């Protein structure tokens, strides 16, 4: 850990729980607890888990032209959501790459929040400032806010027991602003697991009491602390992109199969390239692979082959606790992207059989209420 | 009664009733997290000290395992193919990787005792 590595307000809590801590994007974060990645993962799928995601960045955008600014700098159309709505979107570049993927929260058309990847906070901050031709006020609150996520089919029970009101009425991709212990809270019905879940953004001073309240309230439901290791296996099963793997400065939104995030009826930075990609197609598309458990897991950089020809490369790969198989995201030639197609992939320098699948690998269950 | 020797890369060799077994230490199993896959050599393979004789894959990492001494493989732990989690549960017992014949037993003297190995991990900790 170097001197600039940051600790979240929950650092001591993780240490007490016996977490293995790693430096992730400049923050000391729990990668797993003594429970282990597989059990943490399955707790989220079958019951409920709690995550410290304080490393994520929070920007605020204020001003008369905040709506115009958000419309200009992101590819999704913020007109699709209203006040209290959340939208998955990206910062495309005019060269056809992606600066980051993020969530946009509309407080009102003159006031937005953005939650960005920890590893990209500095780059994103420079990007939004560079493209602020709208006279909006930009505020980087990343160091002032903590983020605690509660994910899994029993999430509403935990929040209700911890004193959050009316959570049974909350809808995926919405948020509410409220106060808890005098601290500003954004209660967001969002996540990165494919399960029902909440992400609670709270001023740093409120993080420890909130964690403690949730842990006490969730004891009965088996609320399990979950580290970044299982966060990654959960998002991979759910077929969600991770910046630095599926997305980077050279991947286009269309290649990443994120055409559903493109607002074709508006203008935005980097639209021209995406229009061309839509009209003429791309040389590669994001797709999935499944490999039998005993053959081992494909890892990033592994080549993919169809009848002996190199047709692509793995971007993320892991053992999937839900499927008890190995799964991987890969960029493939578009002609190869056909579910069920038999391919081969490198695993530890040998080629092993793999089956092409269209992600997600595990069905999303955001709308299956249990509460 | 078992005697354990360790090397820096966290493999052990244990002598149990005249048999020698090789595996990874409790410390290594804990550091790797949930182990999902293990690749082991064929019976009869001769492996020189310091050479890789297999790989251990956890959810997050892939690691090679290295022979602590010159050895010949006399048995592999077949159960690990179906139950790699045995390595997490009992790395220095049921989670052994291979049984071996030593080609050069004097090499054991250069390995670490349990006390020295524990001290090394504590220092690095």
Q: Is residue A350 part of a domain?
A: yes
Tens digits of per-residue pLDDT, A89-132? 999 999 999 999 999 999 999 999 999 999 999 999 999 999 99
Domain that holds residue A288: 283-357
Q: Are residues A42 and A78 in the same domain?
A: no
Helix or strand (DSSP H, E) at B86: helix B85-89
Which of A37, A232, A296 has the CB atom closest to B39's CB atom? A296
Q: Are residues A169 and A108 in the same domain?
A: no
Q: Residue B68 to residues A1, B39, B92: CA-CA distances in angstroms?
A: 30, 17, 15
Q: Is residue A87 part of a domain?
A: yes
Domains and CATH numbers, chain B: 2-124 (2.40.50.100)
The CATH number that applies at residue A10 is: 3.30.1360.120
Q: CB distance from A35 to chain B under 8 Å?
A: no
Q: Are residues A214 and A336 in the same domain?
A: no
Using the 3D structure, point to which of A139, A163, A180 is the last residue of a domain: A139
What pLDDT score was predicted for residue A338?
97
Q: Is residue A363 part of a domain?
A: no
Query: For residue B55, which residues of chain A lie inside 8 Å, CB to CB?
Result: 296, 348
Q: What is A213-281 written as a DSSP string? A: HHHHHHGGGT-EE--HHHHHHHHHHTT---BTTTBSTT--TTTTT-GGG--TTS--TTHHHHHHHHHH-
Q: Are residues A202 and A86 in the same domain?
A: no
Task: For chains A and B, count residue pairs whose Cβ atoms are closer than 8 Å.
Answer: 45
pLDDT at A262 over 80: yes
pLDDT at A371 over 90: no
Averaging pLDDT over each range in A2-6, A138-142, A348-352, B38-42, which range is the top one? A138-142
Could B60 and A318 be called an inter-chain contact, meaning their C-beta atoms sit closer than 8 Å? yes
Q: Is residue A35 part of a domain?
A: yes
What pLDDT score was predicted for residue A1?
53
Q: Are residues A48 and A156 in the same domain?
A: yes
Q: Which of the 8 DSSP states describes residue A174?
A: B
pLDDT at B125 over 80: no
What pLDDT score was predicted for residue A16?
97
Q: Are residues A80 and A178 in the same domain?
A: no
Which of B33, B55, B81 has the CB atom closest to A32's CB atom? B33
Average pLDDT over residues A171-177: 97
Q: CB distance from A22 to chain B under 8 Å?
A: no
Q: How close does chain B come to A320, measured CA to CA in Å? A: 8
Q: Are residues A39 and A161 in the same domain?
A: yes
Dihedral angle, C-alpha A296, A297, A300, A305, nearest 10 °: 70
Query: For residue B62, which residues of chain A lie inside 8 Å, CB to CB?
Result: 297, 299, 348
Tens digits of per-residue pLDDT, A24-70? 999 999 999 999 999 999 999 999 999 999 999 999 999 999 999 99
Q: Is residue A1 part of a domain?
A: no
Burial A103-141 (b: 16+ CB within 10 A, else e): bbbbbebebbbbbbbbbbbeebbebbeeebebebebebe
Burial class (CB in 10 A: 0-12, 13-18, 19+), B27: buried
The CATH number that applies at residue A306 is: 2.40.30.110
pLDDT at A370 over 60: no
Q: Are residues A152 and A44 in the same domain?
A: yes
Which of A229, A319, A348 has the CB atom closest to B36's CB atom? A319
Using the 3D structure, point to which of A237, A271, A298 is the last residue of a domain: A237
Q: How close does chain B come to A231, measured CA to CA in Å? A: 11
| ipTM confidence score | 0.78
Q: CB distance from B61 to chain A under 8 Å?
A: no
Q: Are residues A22 and A100 in the same domain?
A: no
Q: Are residues A45 and A147 in the same domain?
A: yes
What pLDDT score was predicted for residue A368?
77
Q: Are residues A21 and A133 in the same domain?
A: no
Q: Residue A339 to residues A197, A262, A287, A336: CA-CA distances in angstroms?
A: 29, 24, 9, 9
Instruction: Search chain A and give the residue with CA nearest B89.
Output: A36
Could B33 and A20 be called an inter-chain contact, meaning their C-beta atoms sit closer than 8 Å? yes
Query: Measured between alpha carbons, how far is A129 from A132 in angstroms, rounded to an integer?
Result: 5
Q: Are residues A65 and A40 in the same domain?
A: no
């Amino acid at each position: 850990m170097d001197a600039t590595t940051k600790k979240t307000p929950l650092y001591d809590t993780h240490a007490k729980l016996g977490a293995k801590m790693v430096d992730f994007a400049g923050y000391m974060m729990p990668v797993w607890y003594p429970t282990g990645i597989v059990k943490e993962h399955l707790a989220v799928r079958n019951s409920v888990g709690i995550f410290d995601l304080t490393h994520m960045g929070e920007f605020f955008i204020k001003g008369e032209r905040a709506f115009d600014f958000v419309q200009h700098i992101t590819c999704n159309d913020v007109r699709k959501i209203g006040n209290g709505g959340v939208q998955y979107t990206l910062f495309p570049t005019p060269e056809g790459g992606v600066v980051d993927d993020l969530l946009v929260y509309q407080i009102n058309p003159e006031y937005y929040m953005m939650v960005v990847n920890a590893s990209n906070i500095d780059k994103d901050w420079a990007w939004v400032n560079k493209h602020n031709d709208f006279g909006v006020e930009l505020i980087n609150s990343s160091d002032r806010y903590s983020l605690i996520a509660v994910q899994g089919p029993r999430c509403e029970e935990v929040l209700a027991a911890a004193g959050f009101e009316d959570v049974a009425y909350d809808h995926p991709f919405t948020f509410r602003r409220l106060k808890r212990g005098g601290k500003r809270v954004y209660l967001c019905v969002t996540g990165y697991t494919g399960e029902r879940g909440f992400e609670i953004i709270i001023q740093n001073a409120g993080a420890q009491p909130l964690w403690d309240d949730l842990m006490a309230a969730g004891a009965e439901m088996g609320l399990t602390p979950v580290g970044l290791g299982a966060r990654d296996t959960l998002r991979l099963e759910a077929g969600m992109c991770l910046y630095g793997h599926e997305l980077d400065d050279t991947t286009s939104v269309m290649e990443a199969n994120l055409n559903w995030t493109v607002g074709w009826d508006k203008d935005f930075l980097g639209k021209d390239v995406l229009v061309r990609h839509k009209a003429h197609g791309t040389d590669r598309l994001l797709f999935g692979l499944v490999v039998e458990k005993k053959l081992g897991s494909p890892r990033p950089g592994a080549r993919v082959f169809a009848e002996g020809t190199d047709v692509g490369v793995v971007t993320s790969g892991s053992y999937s606790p839900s499927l008890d198989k190995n799964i991987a995201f890969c960029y493939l030639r578009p002609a190869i992207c056909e579910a069920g197609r038999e391919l081969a992939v490198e695993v530890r320098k040998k080629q092993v059989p793999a089956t092409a699948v269209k992600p997600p690998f595990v069905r999303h269950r955001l709308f299956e209420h249990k509460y | 009664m078992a005697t354990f020797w360790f090397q820096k890369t966290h493999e052990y060799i244990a002598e149990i009733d005249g048999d020698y077994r090789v595996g990874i230490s409790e410390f290594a199993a804990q550091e790797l997290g949930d182990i999902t896959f293990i690749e082991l050599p064929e019976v009869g393979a001769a492996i020189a000290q310091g050479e890789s004789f297999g790989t251990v894959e956890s959810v997050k990492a892939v690691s090679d395992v290295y022979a602590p001494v010159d050895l010949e493989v006399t048995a592999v732990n077949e159960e690990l193919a179906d139950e790699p989690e045995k390595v997490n549960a009992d790395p220095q017992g049921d989670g052994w990787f291979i049984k071996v014949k030593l080609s050069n037993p004097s090499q054991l003297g250069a390995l670490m005792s349990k006390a020295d190995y524990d001290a090394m991990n504590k220092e690095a900790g």
